Structure formats: C-alpha cells, structure tokens
Amino acid sequence: MPASGEKDPSQTVPSRRQVLLGGAALGTAAFAAAGTLSGLAPAARAAAAQGAGVSLRGEVFTLGVASGEPDHHSVVLWTRLATDPLAEDGLGGLGRRAVTVQWELAEDERFRHVVRRGHETTDAEAGYAVHAEVAGLAPGREYFYRFRCGRFLSPTGRTRTAQAPGTLGAAMTMAFASCSQYEHGYFTAYRHLAEDEPDLVLHLGDYIYEYKPDTYVSPDGNVRDHRGPETETLANYRQRYAQYRSDADLQAAHAVAPWLVVPDDHEVDNNWAGDIHEKPHIPQPDFLRRRANAFRAYYENMPLRRRNRPQGSHIQLYRTVSWGSLVNFHMLDTRQYRDDQACGDGWKICEDAVDPARSLTGDDQEQWLLEQFRRSRARWDLLGQQVFFASRVSASGSTSMDAWDGYRGSRERISDGWVEAGVRNPVVLTGDVHTHWANELKADYANPDSPVIGTELVTSSITSGGNGADSDPAEHPDLRRNPHIRFRNNQRGYVRTHISRDELRADFRVVEYVTRPGAPVRTRASFVIADRHPGLSEVTPR
C-alpha cells in the first residue's frame, strides 16, 4: 500500500505518493551525492560530463518517466527530453545536439541504496528518447529510478521485476487500459489507475489518436484540442506523443509501474489492416512510409526493448512476458499481419468472415502463439490484444468486421489451440470498443450448450466517447442476444485485476465524467474467474 501522502516537513525528499503522482522536483544534489559520476567507467565518465555540461534552457523532463518490459532480472527505463514539447518539428525544442542522460535505479525511493547506474546518449535521430535496459536485478521486487540531464533531475518512477521463473510467488495486481483520446476528456482514469498502485500496467492500444483537431468529436463536445495536423510525418507523430505525454495524469500512470504496450489502429490510422489504410478508395501510395513514421514514433515513446525497434515499416511486437509461473502475458499484434476487413469493414452479415483462409494474426504469429500455449506451464495465460474476441451479434444479425467476428477461422484456431494444449486458465484482455464488457468464451457461440472454454475482459476507454452513462447491464439488448456476454457498461475507466494462484478478480473501474477534471472513481462491477473454471462469477464490487 502507498506511503502516507501527507507532507512531513522534516523529510528532505517527498513521499512516494508525492514523487509518483506529483512529479516532484528534486534537487540535483541528491543525484550527485549518490556518486553518479564516480560510479562510471572513465570513458563513460567523460561522456557523461560532456552531457552534463550541455546547457539546456528550461526543464527537460517535461514528458515524465516510464518503465516497461519487466522480466525476472531486468527492466527498461524510459524518458524523452523536451524543453518545448509542442514544437512542430517534433524535436521538443532541443534542435540537433546530442545529449547524454544519466540514470540510476535504487532499492528505495530516497536513493540511499542505488544498485545500478549508467548513461545513454540521445539525439534528434532518436527523437530525444532514452531507453535504458537495466539487467542484473533481483526477481520479484520493487525498484525506484530517475534520470539526470545537466542540472535537471527527473521525477522518480517506481518499477518492478517479475517473479523468478518457476515460482508462483505472491499474488499480483495488473491494471489494463486503452483508448485515450486527448480531445474527448481529461485523463482522470489514468490518475486513479496510478493511485491503485498496480504491479504492472497493460496498454492495449489507441494510446494516441491521429486526427487533426476537432475531426473526431465526442458526443459531449471536445474539451481539449490536438496540436498539429492529422499525423502522417515523423514530426507530426512525435509532436502528438509529446502532447499526450505532457499530461500529468498519464505521467502518473507511467511512473507508478512498468507497462506492457501494444498499439491498435489509431497509433497509425483508423482501422488500418496490414498495408491497407482506412480509405482504400482514396489513393495513399505512401501508406507504408506513414506506417514507418508511426512505428518509429511509437517505439521512441514507449518503454520497449531495443529488439522491438522498428525496421522500416515493420515493428516486431508480439511477445510473451512471464511473471514467474503465475502468469504468462502474451501480447499480440492484430493489425500488422491481418487480412483486410471482409465485406468492406463495418458491421455486416458477411459470408467471407467465416472463410478459414482469413487471418487476424498472420500465420507466423498464430504458429508462435499456439506454440506458446503448448509450452505454457503458467497458472494463468493472458492474451493482451486489441479487438473484441467473443462473438457479438447485433439486432440485425450483423457482426463487426474489424473484430475477431470478421476472422472466425482465426478465432477458432486460437481457442481450439488453447483447449488442445490444455492451457489451464486462458483469459483474453481487450480494448478498442470504448465500453466495459465481461464475456464467457465458447467453443460454439451458436449453441447455448457449448462449453465455456475461456473468459474475456474488455476495458472501456480512458476518455474516448466522452462521459458515457451508467445503465443496467441486464437491460442491454446485446446481453439478451448474446447470452455469453455477462456485463456491459458505457462509462470511461479501466480494469484492475488481482491475480492469485486460486483466482483472478476483475474490478471494472469507472469515472463519473471526463469532460471536467477530478471525477471520482468507483468499481461498477467485480467478477471472479476461479482456477480451472473458465467463466465469470459476479462478486461484491471492491
């Protein structure tokens, strides 16, 4: 649980909550006192001294700090420098100089026990992003980190390593989120997510939106404006990420825990598929160049490992991150390798959707995932992915061609795969649809007696779609038509999960509004998935 949020005037450094949620400004003395420079090899010391000597006008850590991709002995630390985050050239006011940034990682939030330190040089080519992969850490423990550049010291972030391989370890808390449209509202839900102090955060896509100002308007009206045109160039994407990353609530969510991220469509272009963009009837011969720009900026702005650095218009993102033998997080990419949406996309009654030759994941990713299922010894196998997995039939009988319903052969091969491999507890995690849902996954959705073979938890958006409204889920026609769907809510929020060896509890967190800052949060519903019992039991909300 958090340290006290109250100020103790005798403390020379802020409490953890102040540090993580308040973006505290520490003096540089503490960093220097920790022996930053003296801990470096001579060559590195010279380089760091050079970086420290660069005089930057204005605060450089305006985009906050982040960490990600934890395994049992290492984690990625991230920051990106900007003195003028909204600069149109996407370079954050830093021009073209190279800058060295020092980092340190400690066992305690006061940095009395620094266990690793180092430095990275960044420049315009790297978008002034810093990715430090820190190894040699102890499994299953909390660490604190910060950066220094010249006379500026970053806010402190908290991170964590995964449990050691083969150990179930303690229960963990994981929160997942998606769809934060900056114009549609304030990122209050990110702030509440941070206050929950999860061990790990999953972001399932639509971290940014590509639109120029006021083209995607919430039913409640837009409350903030995007800066810049629809993102197509590298400078556009870099500027857009910097605008989002300047948000204090988002910064708090990054500073509290390591993240595992996968993009969806809006990090590139609405509903793109493979090398086909949203409006194929409008020639866009440069779509692959746009995709390359989008992926490059995505990599720069996310705490990813170096091996995830894009190669031109391709980025390798599907991967498994294990939390001991408690959880495997299989992070999927359902955009880059998919066949084009059937029947022209949208909601359709479409014969092509059942064509087994069609794929949402591409063959390589599908084979990789099936092999991960066969090799898994984990208590829980979670699929962190983008689009609605369960069948969802509208009143007219149509289904979404952008979701797994539009790629039914793909869905069957993957759910059959986890059944055949004997995966103990498969749970699909989903974003994209801007509403909360809890679904039981079936071998055959058309047959009410078909067994439940897994569970899906769908998070609502952070802001996309505006305030929304509460309603009685049982009244919603989608639930009556689709009896395997157990819960639906149209408010903004995120899902918090508590994962133990015996059960996974999902708390559907909602905020009352997003068009003004400061909305309170509450748990709208909680469900439990018991070990070896796919499906949902509703429990008292926590």
**Closer CB to Fe ion, residue 91 or residue 208?**
208
Q: Of 111 and 209, which has the nearer Cβ to Fe ion?
A: 209
- Contact window for Fe ion (CB under 5 A) among 172-180, 216-224, 230-238, 287-295: 172-180
Q: Provide the minimum distance between the beta carbon of 155 and Fe ion in the complex, in angstroms, as a whole number.
A: 28
Question: Residue 228 region, left (φ>0) first, then alpha (ψ -120 to 50), else beta?
Answer: left
Beta bridge partners of 511: 492, 521
In the bound state with Fe ion, the residue whose beta carbon lies nearer, of 259 and 373, is 259
Q: What is the DSSP string of 172-235?
A: EEEEEE----GGG---HHHHHHHHT--SEEEE-S-SS--PPTTSS--TT--SS---SSSS-SHH
Query: Least distance to Fe ion from the beta carbon of 465, Å?
Result: 8
Query: Could you tell me which stretch among 10-18, 174-182, 183-191, 231-239 binds Fe ion (CB under 5 A)?
Result: 174-182
* Member of 34, 66, 179, 519 binding Fe ion (CB under 5 A): 179
C-beta of 178: minimal distance to Fe ion in Å?
6
**How many CB atoms are closer than 10 A to CB 112?**
12
For Fe ion, the closer CB: 67 or 336: 336
Nearest approach in angstroms of CB 177 to Fe ion is 11
Q: Which stretch binds Fe ion (CB under 5 A): 2-10, 118-126, 176-184, 393-401?
A: 176-184
**Residue placing its CB nearer to Fe ion in the complex, 251 or 459:** 459
Contacts of 229 (CB under 8 A, 6+ apart): 212, 236
| Ranges within 449-488 binding Fe ion (CB under 5 A) | 464
Give 239 or 464: the residue with its C-beta nearer to Fe ion. 464
Q: Does 210 bind Fe ion (CB under 5 A)?
A: no
Q: Is 265 in the site for Fe ion (CB under 5 A)?
A: no
| Residue 293 three-state SS | helix
Cα gap 79→132, rounded to integer Å: 9
Helix axes 234-245, 248-256, angle to 10 degrees: 80
Coil/strand/helix, residue 457 = strand
| 375: Cα within 13 Å, side-chain hemisphere | 10
Distance CA 148, CA 79 (A): 10
Query: From the CB of 478, what's the least distance to Fe ion, in Å?
Result: 18
At its nearest, how many Å lie between Fe ion and the CB of residue 271? 10
Smallest distance, Fe ion to C-beta of residue 280, A:
21
Shortest gap between Cβ of 434 and Fe ion (angstroms)? 6
CB 263 → Fe ion: shortest distance, Å? 11
- Residue found under tokens 């294990």: 322
**Kind of pairing, strands 129-134 and 75-80?**
antiparallel
The candidate with the shortest Cα–Cα distance to 410, out of 369, 439, 378, is 369
**Interface with Fe ion includes 206 (CB under 5 A)?**
yes
Would you give the DSSP letter of residue 44? H
Count of residues engaged in binding Fe ion, rule: CB under 5 A: 3
Assess contact for 430 and 455: CB atoms under 8 A: no
Q: Residue 257 corresponds to which amino acid? A: A
Site for Fe ion, rule CB under 5 A: 179, 206, 464
